[in-house]
Structure 1
């Protein structure tokens, strides 16, 4: 006889505490099986078979599995498409409900709709909850019911809407007894998934002690004063409710506003999914990009002849991380100095960054280019040399990541700043006049 169960489908929420879907699954009255699917739709297109993000997910799941085994349960890890996996599981068990958390990216929304329809054919409900943001979709909108497209008024409304209710943790631990009791389930090796273990260093989830430094030193890349929480929010190893709660307790107001920027961009992606491929400000899609492949390769390699740009790119290529201010400088340089389409840079960041999150990455790139909502105006062109003097005055960051500048062995600048600025102003203005 088939066993009646509920399934908690993990995706971007890899933790066992303060977890919305898991909480509701455990309260459903059915024993809960936790499931993670290494989705071949996502994995197979990845060119780098040592992708560190796969290693991070894999190691996190191993840790979760050990904790579940201490509770007499086990994590079910599958490799395949969600459609295949749920087809198998609904034959193996009498599934009374599937519980999961919302994902806001267009391809994820499409996937969830397909699984919902597949499960409905067997009268199995798919319950989805808000977990990776404080406010989602239409929860922070203008009084007339339309979405905000400028951050400052959005953030004001975000702050006034916020109350302790939205920050309360879900007390998952109270309901551990409702986990499905099983012997340890088969756990694939990382090579079974077609990948190899990466040796990249992963940032600690302990962000609390870095908040004081963040408020005063976040713009200075040599200080390494950011919290590195991005990767943990991306994969849900830290609860956003815990993060905001801690930020408010420590009066880290600037940091909390950055968490709200993340939600702003997720809201924009939800309401304007076309921005995955098109500029928020459509006239910017008329820009006559140069898209010089040799110059793009130089930018990717950190060989542009601009010290701060090169240091940032080399830091990302070597570690999977780039300091936030430097991200703005390198993005502005690619789109404005080299006149290369922001989509090229966005795709390169998507490949390299450990903390890559589609909404924030697209939002950040369109902001730097000038084509996004609430973006820097197109005529604002970061001068990488002035940025270096202001934020890395001793060249500490530059010499650490691009030592050729210390040894005077660096390449010559591939474009002159004043010339590049004049060129972009003409090209962008022509595009906007046509728009």
Structure 2
């Protein structure tokens, strides 16, 4: 007996990509247990470095700060540790005499690591208790009639939609009792997650409010003002008709269950169904990742292992910096750098351009997105890049090659999106805004555009690149 408490009476709530108080099953059940609680976040490292990209680390700093403040109002601190959870968790459990670790389930390799950690804790007399929190339905619940994972989204969506609605969201806990003898955590500032020299995060600060409050507010604004136009406007990057919830979902500041019920309450018909189906794509990606943990590194379709990718560093740098000479591509890549985010339609366009116009391996693009996106997600990022490349599950056929000019004219018809992110073209008439190299010299001169100087000429001829890509894809071995 120590301080009147029995050995193993306290509980640890181990938070990961679930940085919220409301609808958090692990936190909810720990609070219901009546045990004193220690809330822990571990900055997991790979090779001594955090396993997240730079933009995600910026978001993580602010999300942890917000969560720490919310927990303090309920009587407990957020304990921060850095390192390997397999080492940190047993140490922390021993220090505060915790008999249980409550956490929400992860998927893919992370889920497999959790099973290994559970064994390590069990050897120390500590139980790891897992809950379902961050998907609408767990992978083992949605299988085909033959008991295999879905590989095509449409039947997956039909099966998910036919299920009973997801459980009701859980309330945030009230006052929490802190665990005795809780070890002191590290200071968030000492993790140096924010950029300093240079500070490139100004655009991120303008665009986002990380944290649970920010996620709730963004969902509220979307439901009240934009959901009614979602089905029509979701493919228009020149409009603000998407939810912008992806980073909040990725960090678990809001749950898909909360989003589902909010949409289901406020929308009927085409707009609500379309948004819920897009939310289900997130589940589909995680189901793929859970059944294929190497989704981010290996072609889902092994035929693509033989593809002769190009290694054109000059073209890759033009793509990364938004200097390809194709305005819709350049606008997307500049938005990505400024806001840490890109409209989904434009993600498809820039992905197709990298893989099928420049013939650069999809994994190179996925790595750049991982570092620059605030919503960089191991399931969505990998599954979406493989979809664009043609190598994934339910992938776009290899012969679907987005024409960046036609895509721009269709989805940014007035050129407003390009004018915002590629201001050197802002004075071009809409007829030429997506193909400035075809504009007459007098039009270019009047708009102040000097091709090859103020704005680059195209790095490739799309029609030639398309034929090259088709020829190489057709040489792949048959399935």
Q: TM-score of the superposition, structure 2-length normalised?
A: 0.84
Offset of residue 45 of structure 1:
5.1
Structure 1 residues 215-234: aligned runs within 5 Å: 215-234=231-250
Offset of residue 365 of structure 1:
0.7
Residue 413 (1) aligns with residue 458 (2): yes
Does the Cα contact within 8 Å between 2:95 and 2:182 map onto a contact in 1? no
Partner SS state of residue 63, structure 2? helix
2:351 is matched with: 331
2:294 is matched with: 274
Does the Cα contact within 8 Å between 2:22 and 2:172 map onto a contact in 1? yes
Structure 1 residues 25-424: aligned runs within 5 Å: 25-41=30-46, 44=49, 51-106=54-109, 108-163=110-165, 166-173=166-173, 176-180=174-178, 186=184, 188-196=186-194, 198-199=201-202, 200-201=204-205, 202-203=208-209, 204-205=214-215, 206-210=218-222, 211-251=227-267, 252-406=272-426, 407-408=448-449, 409-424=454-469
Does the Cα contact within 8 Å between 1:39 and 1:81 map onto a contact in 2? yes
Partner SS state of residue 412, structure 1? coil
TM-superposition CA deviations, 1:285-314 (whole Å, max 9, x none)? 111111211111111111111110011001
TM-superposition CA deviations, 1:221-266 (whole Å, max 9, x none)? 0112211100000001012111001112222211111110000010
Gaps of 5+ in 1: none
Greater alpha carbon shift after TM alignment, 191-200 vs 128-137:
191-200
Distance 1:62 1:73, change over 3 A: same
Does the Cα contact within 8 Å between 1:287 and 1:431 map onto a contact in 2? yes
Partner SS state of residue 276, structure 1? coil
CA distance in 1, matches of 2:463, 2:153: 31
Distance 1:432 1:250, change over 3 A: farther
CA distance in 2, matches of 1:160, 1:33: 39
Distance 1:52 1:279, change over 3 A: closer
Distance 1:47 1:88, change over 3 A: closer
CA distance in 1, matches of 2:124, 2:179: 25
Does the Cα contact within 8 Å between 1:75 and 1:185 map onto a contact in 2? no
Offset of residue 40 of structure 1:
3.0
Distance 1:336 1:126, change over 3 A: same
Greater alpha carbon shift after TM alignment, 274-283 vs 227-236:
274-283
Does the Cα contact within 8 Å between 1:135 and 1:263 map onto a contact in 2? yes
Greater alpha carbon shift after TM alignment, 296-305 vs 403-412:
403-412
Q: TM-score of the superposition, structure 1-length normalised?
A: 0.92
CA distance in 2, matches of 1:59, 1:365: 28
Partner SS state of residue 158, structure 1? helix
1:14 is matched with: 19
CA distance in 2, matches of 1:196, 1:75: 19
Offset of residue 178 of structure 1:
5.0
Greater alpha carbon shift after TM alignment, 66-75 vs 250-259:
66-75
Does the Cα contact within 8 Å between 1:74 and 1:184 map onto a contact in 2? no
Does the Cα contact within 8 Å between 1:190 and 1:196 map onto a contact in 2? no
Distance 1:422 1:403, change over 3 A: same
Offset of residue 395 of structure 1:
1.1
- Tell me how many residue pairs correspond in the alignment: 427
Does the Cα contact within 8 Å between 2:11 and 2:36 map onto a contact in 1? yes
TM-superposition CA deviations, 1:9-63 (whole Å, max 9, x none)? 0001101111111112222342121111122338715697xx3422322322222
Offset of residue 185 of structure 1:
7.7
TM-superposition CA deviations, 1:181-218 (whole Å, max 9, x none)? 67998564444113335442225422233222323211
Name the Cα RMSD after superposition.
2.1
CA distance in 1, matches of 2:176, 2:190: 31
Partner SS state of residue 112, structure 1? helix
